[in-house]
Structure 1
Amino acid sequence: MDARQRQLLDAAITVLGTRGTRHLTHRAVDEAAALPTGSTSNRYRTREALLTGVLTRILEAETAGWNHLAANLDPIDPDTFATTLGTLVHRLATTDRTLTLARLAIFAEAAHQPALRQHIAHGQRQLATWATPLLAALGARHPATAQRLLLALVDGLLNHQLANPDPAFEPTPAIAALLPAILAARPN
């Protein structure tokens, strides 16, 4: 991805995360990127192409966050994992709030666009390739099940915090409390 693509997609993320999906237009992205009219449509001819590009950029940013989490888990133990994941979730709900809101907007669009669903599924499979062994190292009986449950917990914490922000938001205690049950979960 070249610098211009990143600039356009980051602007589109800003539009999505601050104004919502109905405001995502090529013109709005051009304005947010401070580029001439037509710049976005030259790279992304359709709204669907733009949404796919945005999703790619979001997954790139979130994968970097998850990789950073994994890099900070030495030694790996449930307490360190809960604290590190809690820090990531807190950042996603605060510092990276716009990115996270854009992701949620894209996920809502994916309910009606099979191509976006396939792209999301691919991203989830990539996440599972390193998350599943990590959860196995934490002692998960069924790492794939634990990974799905952990993502559901993270998404739930984020959804609640984004919809009704609590200034005292601290996700680590919830993660620490539920992590033993997640690690002990049986396949569903």
Structure 2
Amino acid sequence: MTDRRTLLLDAAIEVLGTRGLRQLTHRTVDAVAGLPEGSASNHFRTREALISGVLGRLVDRETELWGRLGGAQPLDAERFATAAGAMITELAGPGRAVTLARYAIFHEAAFNPDLQRRIAENRERLAAWGVPLVAALGSTEPERHYRMLLDLIDGLLLNQLASPTSSFDPATTIRTLLSAITPTPTTPAPSARS
């Protein structure tokens, strides 16, 4: 992706996340990006193309965030919960524009079958990365558990954005789900003495 294209998509995310879908125009994106008028329309001929591009960029940004928070080391359930909690806290706080942009697109998708298809494709793209991660935590049904985890994360984010609380602690909630979907270590039975 070219730097200018990335700059335009990040500006579009900023518009969606701070002003809403109705304000998403090529002209507004150009202004937020600090580029000459016509730049966004040169890269994204239609509004639908711009929204589609934003969808892909959101997946990239969220994957980058997971990578940064999770680090390169293999994650155990505790480190995963801590990393997921930090990611959710960031996406509900300093990164809230990214989350709100994503929800604006999801709202639009409810009325647009093409966007629904694109969202499904992007979910599969994320699943290719996330399902093995959940499997590595010990899940016996990694695909199903990965989807449960995404649903939980979306619910936590939505509730915190709609009704913020100072006691927001998503890592504890993630730990609770992980304890239900990953095996617990068993203590070996004591040997019988004769």
TM-score over 0.5 for the pair = yes
Q: CA deviation at 1:146?
A: 0.3
Answer yes or no: is 1:51 the counterpart of 2:39.
no
Number of residues paired by the alignment?
183
Tell me what 1:114 maps to: 113
Alpha carbons 1:73, 1:84 under 8 Å: kept: no
1:102-144 deviation per Cα after TM superposition (whole angstroms, max 9, x unaligned) = 1111111122222222222122112222322222222212111
Alpha carbons 1:143, 1:183 under 8 Å: kept: no
Calculate the TM-score normalised by the size of structure 1: 0.89
CA RMSD of aligned residues (A): 1.7
Name the SS for the 1:179 alignment partner: helix
- Deviating above 6 A after TM superposition, structure 1's stretches of 4 or more consecutive aligned residues are none
Q: CA deviation at 1:47?
A: 0.8
Calculate the TM-score normalised by the size of structure 2: 0.86
Answer yes or no: is 1:163 the counterpart of 2:170.
no
Q: CA deviation at 1:61?
A: 0.7
Tell me what 1:141 maps to: 140
Higher-Rg structure is 2
Identity of aligned residues (%): 51
Tell me what 2:179 maps to: 180
Q: CA deviation at 1:69?
A: 4.3
Change (3 A) 1:130 1:7: closer
Q: CA deviation at 1:181?
A: 2.2
* Aligned residue runs from structure 1 range 71-86, under 5 A: 71-74=71-74, 76-86=75-85
1:6-35 deviation per Cα after TM superposition (whole angstroms, max 9, x unaligned) = 111111111100011111111211221122
Change (3 A) 1:111 1:183: farther
1:30-88 deviation per Cα after TM superposition (whole angstroms, max 9, x unaligned) = 221122222212221111011011111111111212233453553x3221211111111
Alpha carbons 2:59, 2:126 under 8 Å: kept: no
Tell me what 2:15 maps to: 15
> What is the alpha-carbon distance in structure 1 between the residues aligned to residue 138 and residue 62 of structure 2?
25
